[in-house]
Amino acid sequence: MRIELLQVKEVEEWRTYHAIQRHVLFELRGLDGYDDTHPDEHARGHIPLLLRKDGVALGTVRLDLSDGTTGIVRLVAIMPQYQRQGLGRILMFEVERLSAQHGLSRLKVHAAPDAVLFYQKLGWVMVDADKSSPLMAKEIQSSDHGSGSGDV
């Protein structure tokens, strides 16, 4: 079994990335208006990522390098049939590893309310619970901890 987190670059990877986000973050929540041409996806310092298991794309995340020490985690999505199998935990570990490689020491996320417990289990702390998407943060270790897939 090979699990990898890779930066989205190729046309087919972009299609898959957007299809996962549209389905998980919009359609399953009864929302519309997903914009796969949003300029934030291609902004400098924004890193769109696909989580793949044995070559099959099953999740997404985008890491926005914000101020040199803090990154913003966005658009975390795991396809429903792959949820509750530890893949979200792997995804977030790999995002932390990548963040450390970029010299970041802190991550923030605007968590969906139903994901707050997931983040708390991974060591994230609540910063502002009074938002529709609560703001959470996590201090991360330097890039000399652990090793992952090394694909990003």
pLDDT in tens, the chain (152 residues): 899 999 999 999 999 999 999 999 999 999 999 999 999 999 999 999 999 999 999 999 999 998 789 999 999 999 999 999 999 999 999 999 999 999 999 999 999 998 999 999 999 999 999 988 999 999 998 654 444 444 44
Please give the CATH number for the structural domain made up of 3-139. Answer: 3.40.630.30
H or E stretch covering 141: none
Q: How far apart are CA 60 and CA 37, in angstroms?
A: 16
Length of the chain: 152
- pTM to 2 decimal places: 0.89
H or E stretch covering 62: strand 56-65
DSSP lists the bridge partners of residue 74 as 62
Q: How far apart are CA 99 and CA 23, in angstroms?
A: 26
Q: What 3-state DSSP class applies to 129?
A: coil
Q: Residue type at 134? A: P
Query: What are the residue boundaries of the structural domains of the chain, listed by start?
Result: 3-139
